[in-house]
Every structure is written in structure tokens, then in C-alpha cells.
């Protein structure tokens, strides 16, 4: 096995920002230091061709008390990541995180943002045991935090979850599960090494011609990172939008139901050509995606600096929302198709769509599909208003947090 030279290792440098959010007591500070040492030793042993630099920033003002939304800390993390040109950014806080997928939350991981947030609150043995000495607390917190960090680094570099309890990509159900996570197999190390090699390459803004302009730069950055963007979209599970965004779904389904029960809607929908129906579909997808993106402020950044990472983050957000909206449209379309086929007979449709002069014998599934497509597009437009009433923190969590531990 050949090892990289010192110059190659320097070129394969990975900068990981570490933001300490809010105050830490002496035990937590010591535990964070020990955890970083453990992470560094593991990475040096497992990935010797790379140099990992952990750069700390203290942000005591980020936590004002009580539980904190992971999306708030992730937003700060991205701003620091962009301004300081980090490859990844971790946020550590002693405050408990708000869980949106489960009643508790050790960590929130985001591939679109190349970021992760960790809470020391629930991995502290003092949270479950009446009396634990400081040395034991430091040892266990450090061990568990280091496992969370290594799990996050694997997740952010594209490694899938693993069912083995001792694997670092295992999804822990309890703090005690973290104690058993310690290994990566050869295949995982190879995949992670390949991903890190791409990340360590010189960024596009450092080698690009400044004359190409913002649009050209954005297109090049999106194309170069197309696989990473696609993986971020997949990891966000946008097909779960209808279940997670209940206000969007309720508003959309209600609209479709009302339209299907209205004779004028049948008359209007069936009087349109398929070209207009398809154009309405494209318009509704584009408009709802842009509306939700702007309304939920998913692309806002401080400053005007444009980087390859910001393009990847923005493209991922656009892709996630667009895909989620398309899945929602497909759900509405299928619901309309089934309901229309089951409840609406050809004579009734012919009488309601009088201006189309349809003969009942000519009415089949294609007519129901045309009405379903028309209603689903209008339902999606109305449903986007429902999505805009979702909490911004919750919506950001749905879009950006692809794993909650």
C-alpha cells in the first residue's frame, strides 16, 4: 500500500469548521477537546492520504435559553462555511435540539448544506444517571460526540446507513448505541476517500475565468456537482412532502375535491386542449417552486460572495422543492384519477361539460385524466399558499435536514 507524500496530503486538505454555539461548562469543553482528538486519530488512521483541520469559532450569542431549532444553527453554520471557505461545518451546543421526526434529537445532518448540528444534552450520562463523576461524564460525552461526528462525516460524503450496530453509519436509537459504533469497512473507506478527493480539489471560483459572469459560473458549478446535487435531493426524501407538509396537502386536496364537485370546473377543464393542460402543469410547478423558495427564504445569504458551495446549496434547495412539488402534483393527479373513475359516470360528465359537446360513449379514462391533470395543477397552486403558512424553521428542517438522530 502506497502512502501520499507530505505535499499530496497538504493538497488533500479538508477544512472542517467547528462552531461552539452558546456557553459550555468545563465538563463539556473538556469533552469537546477529547472528542476532536479521537476524531483526528481515527481519520489519520483510516484516511492517511488526507489532512483534516478543525477550525473553531465561538458563537455564545446564538443560544438564548431553552430548546433550539436545528435550522437556526444550520443557517449560521452555512454563513460561516461560505465566508470562511470550509468544506464542512459542525455546530456543537449544550442546549437540547428540537426534534421534528422524533421526540428527541442528538444531531441534525444536512447534505445540501454540508453541515451538522450536535447537542451534548442527551448524550451526557448525567441526563439519565443520578450521580456520575466528572471524569466519567467527559469520557462518555467525548466518545459519543466523536461517534456522531464520524457518522456525520460519513453521511455528508455520501455513505449510506448501515444495519451493523458497531458500524459508524449505524442509526443509533439511544445514546448507549453510540458507544458501540467504532468501525468502517474497506468499501466504506474507499467510497469516502473518493468523495473527499473531489471535495479537496481546488474550488471552481479559484480557477474559473472571472469574465464568464454569474450565470455561466452557476451553470458550470451545477454541472460539475450534478451528482452531489442529485444525491442531496435523494437524501432529502422529497417524496414524503405530502405527509410532512400537512398544510400544503390539505389545501391542495381540498381544492381538488371542490373542483371535482363543480360542474363549471368540469366544463372549463375539458374545454382546454392538452397543450394548455400541459402548459398549466409546467407553470404551476415552476411558480409554486419559486414562490415557496422565496416565501421561506431558502436562498437568502448574507453578502454577495458567490462560491461553488453556494451554487450547490441553492441548486439542491431548488431541486428538493421542485421534486417535492412534482410528487405532490402526482399524488393529487392519482387521487383525482381514482375518484373520477369511481364516482363520475360518462352521462354526468357529458351534462356538466356541456360546452365540450361530448358524447357519453366517447368519455373514457383519457377524459378523467385530463380533468385530473387540470385540477391537480390548480390544487398545487392553491396548496402552495398552505405551504407558505408552515413555520419557516420547520420548512427549513424538512428541506435541509436529511437525517435526524
Query: Where exactly are the structural domains of the chain?
Result: 6-199, 212-404
3-state secondary structure of 19: strand
Instruction: Render pLDDT for 359-387 as a digit per residue (tens, 0 to 9).
Output: 777 778 888 999 999 999 999 998 888 77
Query: Whose grid coordinates read 441553492?
Result: 314
- Quote the pLDDT of residue 2: 46
First-to-final CA distance of the chain: 36
Q: Where are the alpha helices (DSSP H) in 157-304?
A: 175-179, 186-200, 204-207, 213-224, 226-235, 241-244, 246-260, 263-270, 274-295
pLDDT band at 1 (very low <50, low <70, confident <90, very high): very low
**Residue 205 reports pLDDT greater than 70:** no
Q: Please tell me the distance from the alpha carbon of residue 374 to that of residue 256, in angstroms, as a whole number.
A: 9
User: 6-199 in CATH: which number?
Assistant: 3.40.390.10
What's the pLDDT tens digit per position in 150-186?
A: 999 999 998 999 999 999 999 998 888 999 999 999 9
pLDDT exceeds 80 at position 351 = yes
pTM score of the predicted model: 0.82
Task: Note whether 399 and 317 are within 8 A (CB).
Answer: yes
CA 266 to CA 357: how far, in whole Å? Answer: 12
Identify the pLDDT of residue 354.
75
User: φ and ψ at 21, to 5 degrees?
Assistant: -100, 120
Task: Report the pLDDT averaged over residues 313-332.
Answer: 91
pLDDT in tens, 239-250: 888 888 888 888
What confidence tens digit (pLDDT) does each residue in 56-103 have?
Answer: 999 888 776 678 888 889 888 888 888 888 989 999 999 989 888 777
Amino acid at each position: 500500500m502506497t502512502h501520499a507524500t507530505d505535499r499530496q496530503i497538504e493538497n488533500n486538505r479538508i477544512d472542517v469548521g467547528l462552531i461552539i454555539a452558546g456557553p459550555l461548562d468545563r465538563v463539556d469543553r473538556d469533552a469537546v477537546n477529547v472528542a476532536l482528538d479521537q476524531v483526528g486519530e481515527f481519520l489519520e488512521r483510516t484516511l492517511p492520504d488526507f489532512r483534516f483541520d478543525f477550525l473553531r469559532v465561538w458563537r455564545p450569542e446564538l443560544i438564548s435559553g431553552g430548546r433550539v431549532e436545528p435550522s437556526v444553527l444550520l443557517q449560521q453554520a452555512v454563513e460561516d462555511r461560505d465566508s470562511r471557505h470550509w468544506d464542512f461545518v459542525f455546530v456543537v451546543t449544550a442546549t437540547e435540539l428540537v426534534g421534528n421526526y422524533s421526540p428527541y434529537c442528538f444531531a441534525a445532518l444536512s447534505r445540501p448544506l454540508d453541515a451538522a448540528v450536535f447537542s451534548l444534552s442527551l448524550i451526557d450520562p448525567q441526563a439519565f444517571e443520578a450521580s456520575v463523576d466528572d471524569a466519567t461524564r467527559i469520557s462518555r460525552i467525548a466518545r459519543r460526540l466523536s461517534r456522531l461526528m464520524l457518522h456525520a462525516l460519513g453521511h455528508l460524503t455520501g455513505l449510506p446507513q448501515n444495519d451493523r450496530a458497531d458500524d459508524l453509519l449505524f442509526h443509533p436509537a439511544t445514546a448507549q448505541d453510540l458507544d458501540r459504533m467504532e468501525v468502517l469497512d474497506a468499501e466504506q473507506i474507499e467510497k469516502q476517500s473518493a468523495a473527499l478527493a473531489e471535495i479537496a480539489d481546488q474550488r471552481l471560483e479559484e480557477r474559473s475565468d472571472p469574465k464568464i459572469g454569474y450565470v455561466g459560473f452557476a451553470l458550470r458549478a451545477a454541472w460539475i456537482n450534478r451528482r452531489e446535487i442529485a444525491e442531496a435531493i435523494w437524501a432529502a426524501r422529497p417524496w414524503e412532502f405530502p405527509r410532512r407538509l400537512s398544510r400544503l396537502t390539505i389545501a391542495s386536496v381540498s381544492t381538488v375535491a371542490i373542483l371535482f364537485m363543480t360542474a363549471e370546473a368540469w366544463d372549463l377543464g375539458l374545454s382546454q386542449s392538452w397543450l394548455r393542460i400541459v402548459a398549466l402543469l409546467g407553470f404551476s410547478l415552476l411558480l409554486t417552486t419559486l414562490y415557496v423558495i422565496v416565501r421561506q427564504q431558502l436562498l437568502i445569504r448574507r453578502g454577495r460572495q458567490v462560491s461553488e458551495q453556494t451554487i450547490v446549496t441553492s441548486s439542491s434547495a431548488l431541486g428538493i422543492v421542485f421534486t417535492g412539488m412534482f410528487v405532490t402534483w402526482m399524488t393529487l393527479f392519482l387521487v383525482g384519477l381514482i375518484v373520477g373513475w369511481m364516482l363520475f359516470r360518462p352521462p354526468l360528465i357529458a351534462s356538466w361539460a356541456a360546452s365540450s359537446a361530448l358524447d357519453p360513449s366517447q368519455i373514457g379514462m383519457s377524459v378523467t385524466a385530463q380533468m385530473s391533470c387540470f385540477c391537480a395543477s390548480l390544487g398545487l397552486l392553491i396548496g402552495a399558499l398552505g405551504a407558505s403558512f408552515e413555520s419557516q424553521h420547520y420548512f427549513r428542517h424538512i428541506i435541509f435536514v436529511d437525517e435526524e438522530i
